Amino acid sequence: MSMDPDRPALEEADLVGMAQRGDMASFEALVARYRDKIYARAYSMMRNEEEALDLSQDAWVKGWQKLAQFQGDSSFITWMTRITINLCLDQLRKQKRLRAESLEAMEEDGGRGVEWRLPAANPNPTAGLEQAELRERIDRALAQLSVEHRTALVLHEFEDMEYKEIARRMKCSIGTVMSRLYYARRRMASLLAGLKRENSE
């Protein structure tokens, strides 16, 4: 099926308005416009292409079903991204990949997570890296974080969410969000610096 050639040229607000009145071709144009962004957010949380693809498509289905509730308080893509994040968090909880706070604290206190207790030794862990190289390294470093730490980082740095909103979505306390973010950033600094050293040797 080919899309109506006029649709992609329309403004977002027009497409949303027509989709809200039941015009599926307009919704299809919105999907075509934002599918990569929605998929990217699902992938950043799930770190699995197949799951990210399924969840991003489920998010669009849910978006269509809830379209009447969209009042334009935020942009359409922000609203769709929030739906995607909620679906990913539900899926992570269902898979028990998002662990209880106590287990996470044990990990941070013990073995794997000692670097967060050391004084900051990498004030500029990304210095001298090209944009593309930096992107790739960040992606590799993110993959090495636990689901809880990565999720906190994604919601804060990529989605600009405040501590309070992250806590609400991750169903934990603000203190836990602060600890998760702190640990995640220190580990990222260490990983990025480590990757930089690896390359220079």
The H-assigned helical ranges of the chain are: 12-20, 24-46, 49-65, 76-94, 101-109, 131-143, 147-153, 163-170, 174-200
Of 30, 8, 33, which Cα lies nearest the Cα of 19? Answer: 30
Establish if 135 lies at the interface with other proteins (CB under 8 A). yes
Of residues 5 and 96, the one with the C-beta less far from other proteins: 5
Which residues are CB-contacts of 56 (< 8 A; sequence separation ≥ 6)? 35, 38, 39, 41, 42, 84
Of residues 89 and 156, the one with the C-beta less far from other proteins: 156
Per-residue mark of binding to other proteins, 3-42 (x: CB under 8 A) = x--------------------x---x--xx--xx--xx--
Establish if 76 lies at the interface with other proteins (CB under 8 A). no
- Exactly one of 100, 162, 171, 173 binds other proteins (CB under 8 A); which one? 162
11: left (phi over 0), alpha (psi -120 to 50) or beta: beta
- Exactly one of 4, 13, 14, 65 binds other proteins (CB under 8 A); which one? 65
- Exactly one of 21, 102, 120, 201 binds other proteins (CB under 8 A); which one? 120
Residue labelled with tokens 């909103």:
165
φ, ψ of residue 175 in degrees (nearest 5): -60, -40
Residue numbers at the binding site for other proteins (CB under 8 A): 1-3, 24, 28, 31-32, 35-36, 39-40, 43-44, 49, 53, 56-58, 60-61, 64-65, 119-126, 131, 134-136, 138-139, 153, 156-158, 160, 162-163, 178-179, 181-182, 185-186, 188-189, 192
